[in-house]
Amino acid sequence: MAKRQAPVVKNEIYDVTFEDLTHEGAGVAKIEGFPIFVENALPDEQAKIKVIKVNKGFAFGRLVELKQESAHRIDAPCPIYSQCGGCQLQHVSYEGQLEYKRKQVEQVLARIGKLDLNQVKVHPTLGMEDPWSYRNKAQVPVGEREGGLVAGFYQKRSHDIIDMERCLIQQADNDDVVQAVKRICEKYGIRAYNEEKHKGWLRHIMVRYGLITNELMVVFVTRTADFPHKADMIKEITETFPRVKSIVQNINSKRTNVIFGDETNVIWGEEYIYDKIGDVKFAISARSFYQVNPEQTKVLYDKALEYAQLTGEESVIDAYCGIGTISLFLAQKAKKVFGVEIVPEAIEDANRNAELNGFTNAEFAVGEAEVVIPNWYKQGNKADVIVVDPPRKGCDEALLTTILDMKPKRVVYVSCNPGTLARDLHLLEQGGYETVEVQPVDMFPHTVHCEAVALIELK
């Protein structure tokens, strides 16, 4: 079938009404059914736009004049919001953000998952009481300007580093430590890494923070293995911030955009800082994966645990278990938990965390969930409840097929991508499962990222 001619022309101005928001946070307007994506526009807004690019089935536009504002529109509180790109929804009231996220989940469940929204309840998004200063990890690139260092963020669509004193979604402590480390480095004449010349020493500063313990970790990512003025710098950092328990150097000598290199050495203090989610304690090293919003992580895991409906008799699988965070949460209430994860270092952390908390009913295996779990099942093992928390691309089909064969009573699906959640729910539904309810949880306020947990039961 021949594609029809686009009804819009590049560089022309149009009057439009926005209907929807994309998953990247752009407004969607339609002219004769032809979608046009416009940054910084919200559903129900009316505007004059200029079309800047026309593709085969859609176009991009730019706001020229906003004629009617959405009730959800606010002034973004952050002064660097438009330059940074780290947040995408600061121009939307928090209430509005939560509602957009719920709607996004509903839309994909209906469109991709083919679910009947009269039967599957999508609850209002669980948000934060105070949705600011939530990130427990700062990871900032370092550059140079005349007379000193800059540490902050890459300007949108570029590799220029803009200096930043305060990031509103970051724990203020993390910003304070980054600023102090920057000043201390300047004092000792430390040179920042220069991407083009592949010269200089300091590439990134990372700071991690344990919300419950208040412990801090500072990581220097450097091009070379030396550490100029080491004793003096350590002394200044630890005297300024007595809560710093660990200082680490990671060496990344490659020409790459990847932040970390392969070699990590503790140069002062402990290898780990600690944090707690609910009653479970976690050891966090420089390279461990750990959720960045610990307050909402507890909300998410409590919901997963509630959906699992454990009585103490169940055998539970936690697929894509990372450092065993969900597994250990489940181990509090299950007879036995079996966690599977592809990254060997994460499984080392998971075993350490199980020991740290005295859990003897959690076991972990390294490997692909879609290989390990089918093998485990072939050997005659079965789970009563399966929890999955896959990366953005969702579950591998081989894993879903094994779930359908194994027939656990319940599946609890924790998802960071509603689209792949919906796709996988469709497959489970076709195989005899029923999606009962879905709870979106806002793990990343002011960004477009949308997390949800679904309860799926065997019919």
Residues near ligand SAH (CB under 6 A) are 289, 291, 320-322, 325-326, 340-343, 346, 368-370, 389-391, 396
Q: How far is the CB of 98 from ligand SAH (least distance, A)?
A: 21
Closest CB to ligand SAH among residues 76, 343: 343
Judged by beta carbon, residue 171 or residue 288, the one nearer ligand SAH is 288
Can you list the positions of beta strands (E) in 278-422? 280-284, 315-319, 336-341, 362-366, 385-388, 410-415
Exposure string over 60-94, b if 16+ CB within 10 A, otherwise e: bbeeeebeeebebbeebebebbebbebbbbbbbeb
Binding residues for S-adenosyl-L-methionine: 291, 320, 341, 389
Answer positive or negative: Cα dihedral of 308, 309, 311, 314: negative
CB of 345 to ligand SAH, least distance (A): 10
- Residue (112 or 416) nearer to ligand SAH, CB: 416
Buried b (16+ CB within 10 A) or exposed e, 105-131: bbbbbeebbebeeeebebeebbbbeeb
> What's the closest the beta carbon of residue 113 comes to ligand SAH, in angstroms?
21
Catalytic residue positions? 416
Closest to 359 (Cα-Cα) out of 388, 336, 383: 336
Going by the annotation, the residues of the binding site are 291, 320, 341, 389
Running DSSP on this structure, what letter comes out for residue 261? -
Query: Do 319 and 373 meet the contact criterion of CB atoms below 8 Å apart?
Result: yes
Nearest-angstrom CA–CA distance, 431 and 400: 9
Residue 346 or 455 with smaller CB distance to ligand SAH: 346
By beta-carbon proximity to ligand SAH, the closer residue of 37 and 134 is 134
Amino acid at 457: E
C-beta of 79 vs 391, nearer to ligand SAH:
391
Nearest distance in Å: CB 341, ligand SAH: 5
Among 88, 94, 42, which Cα is nearest to 69's? Answer: 42
Whole-number minimum distance, CB 72 to ligand SAH, in Å?
30
C-beta of 322 vs 445, nearer to ligand SAH: 322
Minimum distance from CB of 440 to ligand SAH (Å)? 16
- Of 299 and 340, which has the nearer Cβ to ligand SAH? 340
Question: Shortest approach of ligand SAH to residue 83 CB, angstroms?
Answer: 30
Distance CA 202, CA 195 (A): 11
Residue 438 beta carbon to ligand SAH: minimum distance, rounded to whole angstroms: 18
- HSE of 312 in the Cβ direction (CA atoms, 13 Å)? 0
Backbone angles phi, psi at 35, to 5 degrees: -75, 140
Handedness of CA 142, 145, 150, 155 (dihedral sign): negative
Distinct helix (H) and strand (E) counts, the chain? 10, 22
Residue showing the smallest CB distance to ligand SAH in the complex: 322
- What gap in Å lies between CA 398 and CA 388, rounded to an integer? 13
Alpha helix (H) residue ranges in 77-214: 81-84, 94-111, 172-187
Query: Cα-atom radius of gyration of the chain, to the nearest Å?
Result: 24
- Tokens 């009653």 locate to 279
Cα 349 from Cα 272, distance rounded (Å):
11
- State the helix-helix crossing angle for 369-378 and 397-406, rounded to 10 degrees: 30
